[in-house]
Each structure stands twice: as C-alpha cells, then as structure tokens.
Structure 1
Amino acid sequence: MLHKGSVQLLILSQCTFITLDYKLNFQPEKAHQIPQLHERVAERVYNLLTSNGGLYIKLGQAIGANAALMPRPMQDRFGRLFDDAPQIPYPSVLSVFRSEFGRSPVGPDGVFAEFDEQAVASASIAQVHRARLKSGEWVAVKIQKPDVSKQVEWDLGAFRIVMWMFESWFDMPVFFAVDFISNHLRQELDFLQEARNAITTAKFVATEPRLSGKVHIPKVYAEYSTRRVLTAEWVDGVRLSDRSGIRRLMGEDSRIGPHPMDPSLEGVQLRGGLRAIMQTMVELFSAQMFSWGWVHCDPHPGNIIIRPHPQHRLYPQLVLLDHGLYVRVGDEFRRKYAELWRALLATDWDTVETITTSWGIGAPDLFASATLLRPVSFRTRRDEDGNGDSENDTVNQYERSLLMKERLKNFLYDTDKMPKELIFLGRNMRIVQGNNQVLGSPVNRIKITAYWASRSLTTTTNLTFSQRLREYRRDMAFRIVMFSIDLVFWASKLRQWIRTLLGLASEGFEDELERDMRGFAKRAFGVDVAPGVFLG
C-alpha cells in the first residue's frame, strides 16, 4: 500500500487524466469512440481502488451500488470489487494485540489459550483468526489491519473526490450522499460499535416469534473486544457462498460426503430445502426494514452461515455475521416505506407518486422498478420526443449518454429531500435478491417482503382504534390482491421445472425479473446493463 501522501497525489493525477480525457474525447464528432473512452476510465478507477485496497474497496462498493446505471465497462469493473484481500503477516497481528491489550494473543500472559496464526478469512479492512478461550470456548477473532485506521480520513477524502468526479462526469446525483456514507464507514472501523450492533440485533431476533430460533447472532465476548479487535462465538456450518455445499446440506444434491470446510457435516441433510433458508432470510431482512428500523447493510453470501439447529438437528438455522454496518431508520420513514411497498403491489399509483415526490424523486415508476427490482409502469411511458422505445435503437453513443444524464437528473431532482437511508436499503435488497436468484428463486421474495410491509402498518404504535381497524381492512384487501403475484411466481416455477425435466437451462423467477429489468434499463435510460448486475 502506498504512503497516504502518495495516494492523494495519485488520485489527483488520475482525476486530472480522466477529466482531460473526457474534455477532449466526449464530443459529438467522436461518438463512435465513446465506448473506448468509458473503457479507459473504468480501468483507471478500478486499478486505483484495487492497488490501494483497505477502505478503498468499501468505497468502490459504495460507488458500485449504482453500477446498473453506469456505462457497461463500469458495471463490469465494479462487479469484480469483492471484499477480499491478502492476509497481514503474524508480526502485524502481534502489534495490534499488544497495542490493544498490552500483551500477545498466546503465551504465559496471553489473551487466549490457543490462537491460530493463519487467518481463516481476510477482507479489505480486517481478517479473522480461530482461537480458544482459557475457559474452553472456541471463538472467532476479527483483527483490524493496521493501515486502515491510520489512513481512514485520507481515504474518505479520496472518496469525496471520486464521488465529485462521478457527479461531474456523468451528472449522476451522488455527491449529496458522501457525508452519510462516510459516517457509516467510520462506524464500521469501530469494532466496539460492531459488538453493540450484534447485541442489538440478537435482542430484536429474540423478541420476534417468526425468527427466534431460526436465526442466530454469534455471542460477542466484550471482555476480549476493543475498537480494533472483536471476539465472538465460533460457528461451524456452510457459508451461503458455497452453493454446492448448501445444496448438499439441504438435501437438494444427491452427492453425500464430507464438506471440505466442515467434515462434521458429512452425511447431514436438513429438512425444508433451499426454500426454508430463503424464507427465513427474506423474512429477517423484511423485519429489519419494516418492524425494527434496524437494517444490516451487507448481507452478502459470505456473511451468512447455515448450520443444523443446535436443539433441532434436522432443521436449518441461519447465522448472520459481520455486524459492522447498520443503518437505523426512523418511524416516519419506515411507515412511508411500508406504505410505498403496499401501494406498489396494490397498484395505488397516487400513493406511490405522493411518497416519491415528497422524497424529491421525479420519476416514480423508475423508482418503483428499482425498489421491487422488477419493471413497473403506471402509465404508458414514451420518450420526451414521442418516439417511444425505438429512440434508443437509432441514437449514437454520444446522444445516448446525454439522454441518460438528462433522465438521471429528472429522476432525482431534489437530493435534499431524499432519505439517505435508501442508499443502504437499496443495496440490502439487491443482495437479498441475488441470494435468492443464485439458489434458483426458491421463494417469492416480492410477496414475502410486501406482506411484512403491509402487516407492519397494522402494528404501528399510537394508532386510534378506527385507524388500526382501517389498516387491518387494507391489509386484508392487500392479501387478496397479492394472490395474482403468487400466480405469476408459480407459473415461473412450473416453467423452470419443465425446462429442467427436458434437460434445458433452467431460469428462475428472479432470472426472469433480471432479464426484464435489463430491458427496462435499456428502454428508460439507454443503458446496456450487464447480466448479473442486479445481484448487488
């Protein structure tokens, strides 16, 4: 990793190169060269982020949350920004421990009875080691990499520059979110805050009958945790990112054998199939959004472990890891967000337009599509010149870029009104959708989420008797409307089953929605969206 002053100089030089490149080459007469221009810029930004690692990967992922509306080369590059990194050497681990605890991980006066010098996982800002407490329990020890905390403010300053660049080049309204994102990323570097987040989530899960027992949050050992070291319960199981291992564990793969990461699961097959896993997952994150107002912002497959339930060994339990990044949403926003979801599925377009307008959003049907992650149109959409969708087939690359910029400006016309929480909620929902998609769409994600949204409105506090009765009536009417969504889902499952039976490539419900969304992005923005970009 470069010295912080060198990093700043490198960023400024790259900003200068990119600005000049666009100034000289983003011209009508060079329309045929614009794809190569986007390719050069994407490569420069990607190399800048990956060469510095650490918080820059997190920053790139924050930018990548809007990748679907960026030029195709940007989509391809930011889609490869995985949160993994080489391990730091053990002497660096020792220095962190001595700084935080005044002693080594092991030894006569060590913190632990045993400590594996080789990390079991390494990401951009921390790595995890397995250890055993002197009382006998096995634990996971998350250790922050030394350079991350030293350079955080420099890195966030670079993030500010990069977001300014994107707003300047693409007229994408993103700079308004810099302070909100930066504040939450700072919190992610405080492992004591992560410990508090985990404890808060565990309390929420314990009080929700539909999730208690089905979801587990690893116990935090506060006495062995500091701002840069977090010690939590060690959990054996299969990560959701291990698709073949998950299918074997859930009895949906005929191959039975030892799992390479956990031989103790040899021959274990749990009940409920993939549907049981995804039902719990979608309900968990729906509860966070609509009932608790406390949302985990990074539910990617590597942060989810499936294991046999400790008391009911034939059934799965979902273990949620990495509680560094949460967003808290207020009661007023939560109520509006739930109303928005119910209105979207009930085709109550007046309510949708009222809510989105109050949030400074000028294209409610585009926002509705981004929320549901399926195309939504509550009026016949035609382009401003009346030529309909065929316009995007005739314009050149320069005109298409200008059209996209104009529509993005109209989409978010007042950033001061926009609830910043939507930035992280959108990322959460895209990742949950991706989890469902890669497992073959075993559940109707939209229906489950919408049910939680509607039901949460019936339990809102401070309602009068007549208001609560009205909400229950609306909820009952909504459930009748939702029957049509179920029909669409099961029709998709039938097509998927028939294709599998015929030996053809199967396509799940989420795959169909993604294909429709890619077409929608092409028509609405003139953007050529890469396959899989909506996976989050």
Structure 2
Amino acid sequence: MERTVRRLEEELERAQQRYIRRDGNGDDDEARAASKREQKEAMLAAADELADAQAALALLARKVEDGGGSHSVHQRNADRLLRLCRANAGVYVKVGQHLANLDLLLPDEYIATLAALFDDAPESSFENVREVIREELGGPPDELFDGFSERPFASASLAQVHTAHCKSSGRKLAIKVQHRGLRETSRGDLIAMTAAVRLAELLFEDFNLGWLVDEIAPHLPRELDFNVEADNAERASAHLAKTGLDCVVPRVLRESTTERVLCMEFEEAFNATDVASIDSAGLCRLEIARTITSVFNAQIFESGFVHCDPHEANVLVREHPEKKGRAQLVLVDHGLYRQLDGAFRDSYARLWKGMLLADIGMIREACGSLGVVDMYPLLSAMLTSRPFDEVIERSKSGSFETAAASSLSGGGGGGGDQAVIRGYAQRYLREIIDMLDVVPRQMLLIFKMNDCLRHLDMALGCPGNPLVTAGRYASRRVLEGEVRGAGGGWLCKLRSWLSYLNVVLRIEAYDIWTRLGRARRLRLGY
C-alpha cells in the first residue's frame, strides 16, 4: 500500500507538471484552453485517487497498530517526535505544535500524531501549580478562588489552564499558570535546539530550517511574561470590537494577573476543528471559515497587530449567545503577537490586491518592494497555495477563480483537493525553503499564521475563498494608503476610490453567486 501511495504521488506530480507547463499550441487559444481543461481534469483525478489510497493506508496502519504489529516508518518517527516533545516539554512542545500545522509539507502521520500537543501537552503537578500561584499571588489557590480545579482542562507548551470561581462575583474563571521552572530552563532549551539545527544545516544540504529557531528565540521571553499577554488580549479585544465581526476575547482580571499567572473570565466554546460539535450545534462551517479568515485579515490590514499562533486550540467557536443559529469565535492565547510596520502592510496589501485581480504587474511591483524580485510567482503561490499559472489563467478570464480553485474554495474541501495543494508544496519545497531566507522577517510569522489558518480550513472541510476575503481587506488598505499619499489632488483620490469600488462590487457579485450556488447544491443534496 505504501508503494501504491508513492506511485500515485509521482503520478500526481507528473500531472501537475503538465498542467503548470506552458503549452506550445501557437495562437490557437481555443485549443490551448481545451488542453488545459484536460490537464486539469487529469490532475484532479490523480489527486482523488491519491487521497483514496492515503485514506486506505491510514486505515490499514491503524489496524496493524491495534493488532500489535509494526506500522509505517512515518508513524514510528512521528511517535518518537511526540515522545521527544513531551519529555522535554516547553519549547519542544511549541515546535511540535508548529510542525502539526504544516499539512502541506509533512506526511499525515506527523500531522495527526503531533496534533495531540495542542490539547494534551505535558501537565505540571498540582503541587507545582499551587507553588507558582503562592509565589505570584501571595497565597494558595483555595484561599484566593472558590472551587479551584486540581486537574487542568487544557495544557499547552508554556502553561496549563485551571477553572475556578471568583470569590466576590461567583463568575467562572480560567486561570492560566506557567509550568514551574520553564522560565529558568527555556534559555538552555533554545541554545540546545539552535545548536542542533545549525549542525543539521552543516551536515545536510537540503536542511534549511534555521529561520524557525531565529523566530522563536527573540519572542519566547515575551511569551513567558503573562502581563504582556494580558496587554495583547486587551488591545486585540478593543480592535475586534470595532470590526463588527463575531469574535470575542476573554476579559482579563488584572488584579489576579502576574508574570506567571493569567486570570481571565471563562468562555464556554469548543475547538473550531471540532466538526462534530459544530454540526451538532447546527452551525455553518462555511460561515465559521469566513469569519476566521476575516478576523485575521482585519488584524493584518487594519490594526497591524497580529495574533501569530492561531492553531486549533486557540481558535474556539460556539453558538452566538444573542443570535440563534449563528456562530461566534472565541480567540484565546494572546502571547505571540507581532506589530507589522506600515510600509510592510502597504506592500503586502498591494500584493494581495494584485493576486485578487490577477494583475501581474501589481504582483511583481509589490513583491519587489518586499525584496523578492525574480521569485514573485513563487511568493504568490506560497501565500495562496495555488500555482502562479492560475493567476495567469484568471488574468485572461477576469474571474476570481479557476475551475480547479473553485473545487478548493467552493465547497468540497475533500481529500483530493488537499492532495493537490500538498503536491504543489512538495514540488516546490526547496524553493520555498530558499524563499524563507529572502523575505522580510515580518513575513515569517505571516507564513506561520497562514499555515495555521490553512490547517483550520482543511479541518473544517468547507473553506471559504481566502483570496477573496484577504483581497477585500487588502483593497481597503490600498485605498487608504493611496488617499493618504495622493500627490495629484482630488483626481488621484477619485481614481483610487473608483478602483476600490470596482473591487468591492465584483466581490459582492461573487459572494451572491457563490451563495446561490451553495443553496442550489444543498437543495439538490450534494
């Protein structure tokens, strides 16, 4: 079965190569379009066959494992990595969580196994929790709170969360307590991990992941100070309140918050990837996917203050307490934020507007301002998880989607779609790693955030079109920048407004068309 999967992976790669290669059919546009359609259908068929084979292999591996036999090399190594992360805890769990979001690059065994670190990270003993609270708040938890739970309801890389009730108001609380000793050992962990990565880069030509520790090292000390997290949560909450999006941030109780203890009001919700709970509550997955994408694009293009760790345990969902049948997000864990500077956001916005409109000149110019000259097609493909050839195709059709992209954004979200995306990422893996050394450092956390959001989209199985959502916010940012810096007076401002209105009207028309199409599919039962 493993050999079958490898053979089908090779067939998908060949089909993708044929699809993205430019055909030499002269000036016969009709023949070229027909050839592209055939190549696309062949690629999607290969992807569906690969997805079926991967699902069968996963089922077979589980049966073998349940029977006590050996299973795949990937699974054995994923289990070893999980044990490594749990044994060393702290920074290692954080890296393991990041790996669990790389759906496009890593085999399924690693994704499924390391995902356990999101909700089942190593726990500190209750004695250590009591000691941290005593050191930070001046007394044991049973004296400071009512009904403090001995067992945490969630444990993460840096801390674990216990429930309690406020003595004065009776309000249910979530008390986040840092793992004892982590503050003292994290520096040594970072040194050891950095040394291992640097050594691997020297020994193996294809290993180039130094950017990962380069990003973790300077930000970890701020994540270890929960006063910083409290500041981040309050600032993010203030911005989200202005957006009108259905997303809340738990309120922080400052009087019970210190460097190693964070006290918040408890918000009942479940993981945004818990599709069984979502369906049971009668919530719309597509609405949830669009809201998630909107929240993080609003942070990027409006405030520039961005939550850079939106993995599945940090993005929660519930039925809106005041709007029956509607979903509401609960955003937690605000330890890792990055303030994007204005010049970066302006260039990034122009890039997304260019990708939305399939304006190759705008894409090339925006990438150049980000330091990427010759590899602008690759940067575009990395951000959208689509081949740049589809941008060229849309530039001719004037649509926001190609037929292949439509299957990804419009509804199915099945295994074949995921196989197509993963195939492109694996095909350009070496170039992607090289790109990470070129782009501005701010872009690295954007990539990490995109990995997390893509993982959520795939888990929901009904993603919206992130290109359209991001393009909407990016176009608004471009308008604000052009109006702010218009040197040609009212005529330049009018031109900017007309360009923006053109984008908005096209997006609204697209939304109406996709909603009607979805309603029709629901009526017909598919």
TM-score, normalization: structure 2? 0.69
Instruction: Check whether the contact 1:172–1:405 (CA below 8 A) recurs between aligned residues.
Output: no
Q: Identify the residue that residue 168 of structure 2 maps to in structure 1.
A: 135
Q: Does 310-319 or 119-128 show the bigger shift?
A: 310-319
Instruction: Check whether the contact 1:84–1:124 (CA below 8 A) recurs between aligned residues.
Output: no
Change (3 A) 1:64 1:163: farther
1:363 to 369, 372, 375: 375
Q: Identify the residue that residue 237 of structure 2 maps to in structure 1.
A: 202
Give yes or no for the alignment of 1:49 onto 2:74.
no
Residues of 1 paired with 2:503 and 2:208: CA distance? 34
C-alpha deviation, 1:242, in angstroms: 2.5
Residues of 2 paired with 1:483 and 1:170: CA distance? 48
Q: Secondary structure of 2:309's partner?
A: coil
C-alpha deviation, 1:293, in angstroms: 0.5
1:26-105 matches, within 5 Å, as 47-62=83-98, 68-69=104-105, 82=118, 84-105=120-141
Give yes or no for the alignment of 1:454 onto 2:475.
yes
Instruction: Check whether the contact 2:119–2:313 (CA below 8 A) recurs between aligned residues.
Output: no
Give yes or no for the alignment of 1:463 onto 2:485.
yes
C-alpha deviation, 1:275, in angstroms: 3.4
Give yes or no for the alignment of 1:175 onto 2:210.
yes
Q: Identify the residue that residue 287 of structure 2 maps to in structure 1.
A: 276
Q: Secondary structure of 1:227's partner?
A: coil
Residues of 1 paired with 2:193 and 2:168: CA distance? 44
C-alpha deviation, 1:442, in angstroms: 5.3
- Give deviations 1:353-410, integer Å, cap 9, x for gaps: 2332343434222211110122222679xxxxxxxxxxxxxxxxxxxxxx97864576
Instruction: Check whether the contact 1:221–1:233 (CA below 8 A) recurs between aligned residues.
Output: yes
Instruction: Check whether the contact 2:271–2:315 (CA below 8 A) recurs between aligned residues.
Output: yes
Q: Secondary structure of 1:146's partner?
A: coil
Give yes or no for the alignment of 1:233 onto 2:244.
no
Change (3 A) 1:162 1:486: farther
- Give deviations 1:449-479, integer Å, cap 9, x for gaps: 2111112222337333444333222223334
Change (3 A) 1:77 1:140: closer
C-alpha deviation, 1:233, in angstroms: 0.5
Return the letter of the residue paired with 1:93: V
Residues of 2 paired with 1:73 and 1:275: CA distance? 27
Instruction: Check whether the contact 1:83–1:124 (CA below 8 A) recurs between aligned residues.
Output: no
Instruction: Check whether the contact 1:240–1:304 (CA below 8 A) recurs between aligned residues.
Output: yes
Give yes or no for the alignment of 1:472 onto 2:503.
no
Q: Identify the residue that residue 319 of structure 1 maps to in structure 2.
A: 330
Residues of 2 paired with 1:39 and 1:442: CA distance? 28
Residues of 2 paired with 1:194 and 1:278: CA distance? 25
Return the letter of the residue paired with 2:239: F
C-alpha deviation, 1:62, in angstroms: 4.3
C-alpha deviation, 1:179, in angstroms: 3.4
- Give deviations 1:285-321, integer Å, cap 9, x for gaps: 1101111101112222322333344444554322111
Instruction: Check whether the contact 2:123–2:155 (CA below 8 A) recurs between aligned residues.
Output: yes
Residues of 2 paired with 1:122 and 1:467: CA distance? 54
Instruction: Check whether the contact 1:172–1:408 (CA below 8 A) recurs between aligned residues.
Output: no
1:185 to 216, 220, 226: 220
Q: Secondary structure of 1:115's partner?
A: coil
Q: Identify the residue that residue 164 of structure 1 maps to in structure 2.
A: 198
Q: Secondary structure of 1:441's partner?
A: coil
Instruction: Check whether the contact 2:99–2:111 (CA below 8 A) recurs between aligned residues.
Output: no
Higher helix share: 2
Q: Secondary structure of 2:388's partner?
A: coil
Give yes or no for the alignment of 1:222 onto 2:266.
no
Change (3 A) 1:244 1:113: same
C-alpha deviation, 1:445, in angstroms: 2.7
C-alpha deviation, 1:332, in angstroms: 0.7
Give yes or no for the alignment of 1:372 onto 2:384.
yes
TM-score, normalization: structure 1? 0.68
Change (3 A) 1:148 1:376: same
Residues of 1 paired with 2:107 and 2:306: CA distance? 30
| Structure 1: stretches of 5+ with no match in the other structure | 1-35, 253-272, 381-402, 502-536
Instruction: Check whether the contact 2:382–2:432 (CA below 8 A) recurs between aligned residues.
Output: no
Q: Identify the residue that residue 10 of structure 1 maps to in structure 2.
A: none
Give yes or no for the alignment of 1:149 onto 2:183.
yes
Give yes or no for the alignment of 1:445 onto 2:470.
no
Q: Identify the residue that residue 390 of structure 1 maps to in structure 2.
A: none
| Superposition CA RMSD, Å | 3.5
Give yes or no for the alignment of 1:242 onto 2:242.
no
Change (3 A) 1:49 1:226: same
C-alpha deviation, 1:170, in angstroms: 4.3
Residues of 1 paired with 2:102 and 2:205: CA distance? 12
Return the letter of the residue paired with 2:130: L
Residues of 2 paired with 1:451 and 1:190: CA distance? 35
- Give deviations 1:161-204, integer Å, cap 9, x for gaps: 24324544244544245333312222221111110000000111
Return the letter of the residue paired with 2:175: V
Q: Identify the residue that residue 12 of structure 2 maps to in structure 1.
A: none
Q: Identify the residue that residue 395 of structure 1 maps to in structure 2.
A: none
Instruction: Check whether the contact 2:101–2:455 (CA below 8 A) recurs between aligned residues.
Output: no
Change (3 A) 1:436 1:404: closer
Q: Identify the residue that residue 401 of structure 2 maps to in structure 1.
A: none
Q: Identify the residue that residue 35 of structure 2 maps to in structure 1.
A: none
Residues of 2 paired with 1:85 and 1:37: CA distance? 24
Residues of 1 paired with 2:510 and 2:112: CA distance? 32
- Give deviations 1:425-458, integer Å, cap 9, x for gaps: 1222232233233333253332122111112222
Residues of 1 paired with 2:206 and 2:101: CA distance? 16
Instruction: Check whether the contact 1:236–1:307 (CA below 8 A) recurs between aligned residues.
Output: yes
C-alpha deviation, 1:120, in angstroms: 1.2
Residues of 1 paired with 2:114 and 2:475: CA distance? 35
Residues of 2 paired with 1:67 and 1:322: CA distance? 22
